[in-house]
Amino acid sequence: MICTWPEGTYKPAIPLTYNSETMTGFEYQAASHMIQEGFVEEGLSIVQAIRDRYDGEKRNPWNEIECGSNYARSMASYSLLQAYTEGAAP
């Protein structure tokens, strides 16, 4: 989620734009960075959560929707290739 509020707090009537959305591009970037910094399990858990969301049953596994169909930010998944080829992963 782009933004959440702690339990028991007031959510503004007009919160941040896209506040309740999940953007796979941001998730892949965070996962890739975690893997590059040695947090391999944590990074892979993010990737697994994305893949579980786009499992072919709930959503199309070849079209990660982010602000519209075929949005380019999802191509951040390719940063995982660099993360793994740099030797950070096991």
pLDDT digits (tens, 9 = 90+) for 15-47: 888 787 778 888 999 999 999 999 999 999 999
Burial (CB < 10 A; 0-12, 13-18, 19+), residue 33, is: middle
Both tokens assigned to 42: 């944590």
pLDDT at residue 55 is higher than 80: yes
CA distances from 24 to 16, 38, 46 (A): 18, 21, 10
Domain extents in the chain: 24-85
Phi, psi of 33 (to 5 degrees): -65, -40
pLDDT computed for residue 70 by the predictor: 61
Between 67 and 48, the more confident residue is: 48
- Determine the pLDDT at residue 88: 53
Q: Which residue has the higher pLDDT, 18 or 48?
A: 48
Closest CA to 44 of 89, 82, 76, 86: 89
**Total residue length of the chain:** 90
Positive or negative: CA dihedral 10, 30, 63, 54 = negative
pLDDT of residue 78: 87
pLDDT score recorded for residue 68: 62
User: What's the rounded Cα separation, in Å, for the pair 78 and 90?
Assistant: 18
Could you tell me what percent of the chain has a pLDDT over 70? Answer: 91
